[in-house]
Amino acid sequence: MRKNLLFSSFGKFQDLVVGVSQKQDGSMKLDYQKKIDIKTESNRNGYLSKLGIDRKLLVSAKLNHTNKVVVVSKQNTRSFLDNTDGLITSNKNIFLSITIADCLPIFLYDPSSNTIGLLHAGWRGLSSRIIDNAISIACSKLSINLPTTKIGIGPAIGVCHYEIKDDLAAKFAKYKDVIRQRDGKKYLDLKKVAKKQLLNMGILKDNIEISSVCTFEEKTRYFSYRRDNPKRLQAMMAVIGRTS
């Protein structure tokens, strides 16, 4: 099984598989209006094969920029969960997946309870507290241990390119230093917002690892909705799972 070691803190766990596809793997965003999206299905199967993941063990979130988080089990494999932006489980051989194209992929792993999680968080998810919801559910239903819980925030649009208007800036005004001003424009740091929310929920600072990669800047490696503004959304796939 091949691992995409995005986070050094996850690397020592031999049974943990964590990955984010790249542009060369093709778009992972299915067209749900089609009965069969042959090209995207092929891309998804190819990427999962690289990671050594059996497609039958995959659970996918059909995103809607909500704060809805679902605890998944074996019965959810091979399915897409509607209007869901967060997935968590303590089962092995279940692989959680979302698609991203600038929004944050937030990976969660608690080795003490064998819990994994994966969140899709853009400004809507962060402003509606998807992180708070996910941590609360993981604590109450899966008994995660906050001091041992590790978080990885993967490639996403950086503050350098995430220009916002005043109405959106107002939603995050209570967070210090998450909005930068440059040449009369405002830019939001989604990664910093997520970190602050994680800290507020009791995740330890040293257990949060944040990718410095900006999807907008990495034109040859990653899709970016803001940069490309495509007629049909193209996206990467983020995946996490345990094999034992």
The confidence band for 140, taking pLDDT boundaries of 50, 70 and 90, is very high
pLDDT above 90 (res 158):
yes
Average pLDDT rounded to a whole number, residues 81-96: 97
In a domain, 237, yes or no: yes
pLDDT digits (tens, 9 = 90+) for 14-36: 899 999 999 999 999 998 877 77
Residue 89 is part of a domain; what is its CATH number?
3.60.140.10
Length of the chain: 244
In a domain, 130, yes or no: yes
Average pLDDT rounded to a whole number, residues 235-242: 97
Question: Which is higher by pLDDT, 244 or 90?
Answer: 90
DSSP state of 210: E
Pairing relationship of beta strands 236-242 and 16-20 according to DSSP bridges: antiparallel
pLDDT above 80 (res 183):
yes
pLDDT digits (tens, 9 = 90+) for 191-237: 999 999 999 999 999 999 999 999 999 999 999 999 999 888 999 99
Burial (0-12, 13-18, 19+ Cβ within 10 Å), 9: middle
Owning domain of residue 146: 8-157+203-242
In a domain, 115, yes or no: yes
What pairs with residue 108 in β-bridges? 117, 151
pLDDT above 70 (res 1):
no
pLDDT above 80 (res 4):
no
User: Could you tell me if 133 and 86 are in contact, meaning their C-beta atoms sit under 8 angstroms apart?
Assistant: yes
- C-alpha torsion sign, points 54, 57, 62, 67: negative
pLDDT above 60 (res 151):
yes
pLDDT above 70 (res 3):
no
Average pLDDT rounded to a whole number, residues 84-96: 97
In a domain, 120, yes or no: yes
Predicted confidence at residue 12, as pLDDT, reads: 87
Mean pLDDT over the full length of the chain: 95
Predicted confidence at residue 73, as pLDDT, reads: 95
43-64 as b/e: b if 16+ CB within 10 A = bbeebbeebebeeebbbbbebe
In a domain, 69, yes or no: yes
In a domain, 187, yes or no: no
In a domain, 185, yes or no: no
Look at the chain and report how many structural domains it folds into.
1
Distance in angstroms (rounded) separating the CA atoms of residues 130 and 84 = 10
In a domain, 188, yes or no: no
User: Could you tell me if 240 and 90 are in contact, meaning their C-beta atoms sit under 8 angstroms apart?
Assistant: no
pLDDT digits (tens, 9 = 90+) for 92-138: 999 999 999 999 999 999 999 999 999 999 999 999 999 999 999 99
The number of beta carbons lying within 10 Å of the beta carbon of residue 144 is: 23
